[in-house]
Chain A
Amino acid sequence: QVKLVESGGGVVQPGTSRTLSCAASGFRFSTYAMHWVRQAPGKGLEWVAVVSYDGTKKYYADSVKGRFTISRDNSKTTIFLDMNSLRPEDTAVYFCALWAGSTGGGLDSWGQGTLVTVSS
């Protein structure tokens, strides 16, 4: 079955960088787009970024454009989120999710998330 495991969260200072990883297994990783979605404490879901199956297309939410970079390594079945110039408002649980792995649309598999806290 599909398994997504995020790592890399922690407490970081404003203005610094952090890289999140999401290790995937249980499906043909190289054929599916992958997303990052975040959720600030007590708040709703916010879509962050998507990378196409081959890594050639990447799109971002306006709130992170120019600061965050999504990438993937199909040989390691892992996606990454490079986060730069972090702000307190980036504090959130970051989920990676699989797009339409067993459906015609939607994020149909999710990891359990990794918490990033941006604080001095």
Chain B
Amino acid sequence: EIVLTQSPGPLSLSPGERVTLSCRASQTVANSHLAWYQQKPGQAPRLLIYGAYTRAPGIPDRFSGSGSGTDFTLTISRLEPEDFAVYYCQQYGSSDSYTFGPGTKVEI
């Protein structure tokens, strides 16, 4: 089973700042099948990025994903007030397991 580790948090930042979140896999994620989600308190998660770098419909272009193999990043170019949340990565490189990372909280 692939284990994902993420940037330790919480990250304390200000609106307008740039932030890069990391997600590292214990083994190669096949086909860069890596997704990122945002979750706010009391809400279901929202898909941001799939396939390591493709934005989901309706996701602002200040969100970008990159990486391959075992190392992936989510970058928010300029933090908006609504971006303060917890971010999770998920790998789906193996069809029988879809593990999540532990999450990174981005706080004001």
Interface residues of A (CB under 8 A from B): 35, 37, 44-47, 50, 59, 61-62, 95, 97, 100, 102-108, 110-113
Contact = CB atoms under 8 A, between A and B. Distances in A.
B35 interface: yes
Interface in B16-37: 33, 35, 37
Contact of B51 (A59, A104, A113): A104
A62 B33 contact: no
Contacts, number: 72
Interface of B: 1, 33, 35, 37, 39, 44-47, 49-51, 54, 56-57, 86, 88, 90, 92, 95-103
Given A102-B57, A106-B90, A107-B45, A59 B100 contact: no
Contacts of A35: 98
A95 B47 contact: no
A46 to B, nearest CB: 7
A105 B88 contact: no
Central interface residue in B44, B88, B90, by most chain A CB within 10 Å: B44
Nearest to B52: A105
A50 B47 contact: no
Contact of A44 (B35, B51, B100): B100
Given A45-B39, A59-B95, A59-B96, A106 B47 contact: yes
